[in-house]
Structure 1
Amino acid sequence: MKNRIENSVELYEKGYNCSQAILCSYNELLGIDEVTAFRLSEGFGGGMGMMQGTCGAVTAMFAVLSYFNSDGLLEKGKSKLDNYKEIRRSADLFIKEYGSINCKEILQGNTPKALQCGEKVRDAAKIIEQLLESNFNIETVENRENY
């Protein structure tokens, strides 16, 4: 099986937007089909609908990490603060590399383009992998029954 980092980059190069490339590479771990992941993340590309706000790759990274850090207990919400902490941790790792999670700042005011954004997709996927490995047993994550 192709690793999810490589798959994210390949999907981006194939024409998926930055957010779709990430979310579609993790769709099976999230228990959703690729078309659903594609549709859910379509509006997040280009920094939220090409408005160059929060980077779409970062937004998808947040979604994947949030899924795994949430306890899924609708009424309790006990995992919320820990989840926020992990989202900030992932943002800090991305900021360390690019100085921001804001698309316009990352791209220095330029419109998103394939070469510029492909690197961000790769690095967002690397951060996901790093945090999933450090916070979870990957075997457990990949075989998680409670989707």
Structure 2
Amino acid sequence: MNPSRCRILAVGKVRRGWIQDGIALYCKRLPGLEIIEIRDSTPDKEAESIRANLRSDEHLIALMEEGVAVGSIPFAQRLETLGNQRLAFVIGGADGLTPALKQGAQWQLSLSPMTFPHELARLMLIEQLFRAQAILQGSPYHRA
């Protein structure tokens, strides 16, 4: 997994300081990972902004509660199979992603069957990207 081939397109700003600190910590460990913040609006306008920010060569990975939940090791393995392809992880706002955006995703991923605030989902995703990298590199960070 190459962090410089991954981007996170996330609706909304991170306002909580402790979440900002956590994101900053993992971003230092994942050099090259890019986070694009999409302005909060209606789901349709957010989807339009997400599409405008997607690159033509990126695989869209939609984070959604009805997506497929995977453990950390299968997540890392899936990222490894994607090789050097460019990935865009998309986190919707309070009202989630539009059905069209969800259907257009190459991978519909769930971090949990529970619902989390978008700020916390962003931190959890970044930690899982770091964990996936650690798993693939054989680092002791992941103890399972």
The structure whose residues are more often strand, as a share, is 2
Q: Which has the higher contact order (CA 8 A, sep 6+)?
A: 2
Q: Between Structure 1 and Structure 2, which shows a larger proportion of helix residues?
A: 1
TM over 0.5: no
